[in-house]
Amino acid sequence: MDNSDTRGGDKDVGLEHAYRIETPEEAEGFYDRWAPAYDAEVGKNGYITPKRCAEALAAHAALPWAPVMDLACGTGLSGLALRAAGFDCIDGFDLSEEMLARARRKDVYRELAIADLSKPLEMPGDVYQNAAAIGCISPEYMPPTVLDEIVGKLPSGGCLVFSVNDHAAADGTIRGRINDLIDCGYTELLVADYGAHLPGIGLKATVYVLRRR
């Protein structure tokens, strides 16, 4: 597939390359380059996970008017879905400056800032009632304890919605960490729903909702 017309001549970005990223540094450069064409490409392939996640969070979250952190928000498709599901105070975080620039244009975020999910999160705890990490969890370039990091920023009763696609689920480490968080009593599993992610390329994902006890 020749993507030169939509990506300014850069053929090393797009869905066919997205699941080969191995480090945060690769991810940052990759998403900076992909940002101009991201919405069009994932839209063409029926990207449904933001809607699935936002609706799952809305079904279980307390205080939907309270601040939500949208991690790896990308160009803001997740923010649009969260807003449509009834959340109206959303802060977005992403590794890519170019993705954040496009998210800013959608005018759904209160604040936008850089965040690297491979490192400890720097935002203070108990600022956000709920959190979303949509279409971004990957054991290739972030530790499975990223889930601990996110849940640790929420108060008791706060919910985290996130998705794990077939590629990210393959080695079992993310599911293992989910089980650890449930088994130790730190979180409660409210949703584990396997379904469509990017129908255009036949990729599925599980949407999870964890509630901090």
- Tell me: the pLDDT tens digits for 170-182? 999 999 999 999 9
Inform me whether the pLDDT recorded for 8 exceeds 80: no
How far is Cα 157 from Cα 64, in angstroms, rounded to an integer? 12
- Tokens 């390329």 correspond to 201
How far is Cα 213 from Cα 211, in angstroms, rounded to an integer? 6
3-class SS letters over 95-154: CCHHHHHHHHHCCCCCEEEECCCCCCCCCCCCCCCEEEECCCCCCCCCCCCHHHHHHCCC
Q: Is residue 169 part of a domain?
A: yes
Report CA 1 to chain centroid distance, whole Å.
27
Q: Is residue 17 part of a domain?
A: no
Number of domains in the chain: 1
Assess contact for 110 and 90: CB atoms under 8 A: yes
Domain membership of residue 178 as a residue range: 49-212
Closest CA to 163 of 125, 186, 192, 189: 192
CB atoms within 10 A of CB 194: 12
Residues 6+ apart with CB under 8 A from 44: 200
Q: Is residue 122 part of a domain?
A: yes
pLDDT at res. 177? 98
Assess contact for 57 and 159: CB atoms under 8 A: yes
| CA distances from residue 68 to 100, 121, 135, 209 in whole angstroms, order as listed | 17, 15, 16, 14
How far is Cα 143 from Cα 171, in angstroms, rounded to an integer? 13
Q: Is residue 23 part of a domain?
A: no
How far is Cα 191 from Cα 180, in angstroms, rounded to an integer? 16
Instruction: Report pLDDT digits (tens) over 88-121.
Output: 999 999 999 999 999 999 999 999 999 999 999 9
Inform me whether the pLDDT recorded for 26 exceeds 80: yes
Six-digit token string for 87:
């959340």
Q: Is residue 132 part of a domain?
A: yes
Inform me whether the pLDDT recorded for 4 exceeds 80: no
How far is Cα 101 from Cα 34, in angstroms, rounded to an integer? 12
Q: Is the pTM of this model over 0.85?
A: yes
Instruction: Report pLDDT digits (tens) over 130-163.
Output: 999 999 999 988 999 999 999 999 999 999 999 9
Q: Is residue 141 part of a domain?
A: yes
Inform me whether the pLDDT recorded for 197 exceeds 70: yes
Q: Is residue 193 part of a domain?
A: yes
CATH at residue 124: 3.40.50.150
What is the torsional sign of CA 201, 192, 118, 86? positive
6-21 mean pLDDT:
72
Residues 6+ apart with CB under 8 A from 25: none
Instruction: Report pLDDT digits (tens) over 44-96.
Output: 999 999 999 999 999 999 899 999 999 999 999 999 999 999 999 999 999 99
Q: Is residue 26 part of a domain?
A: no
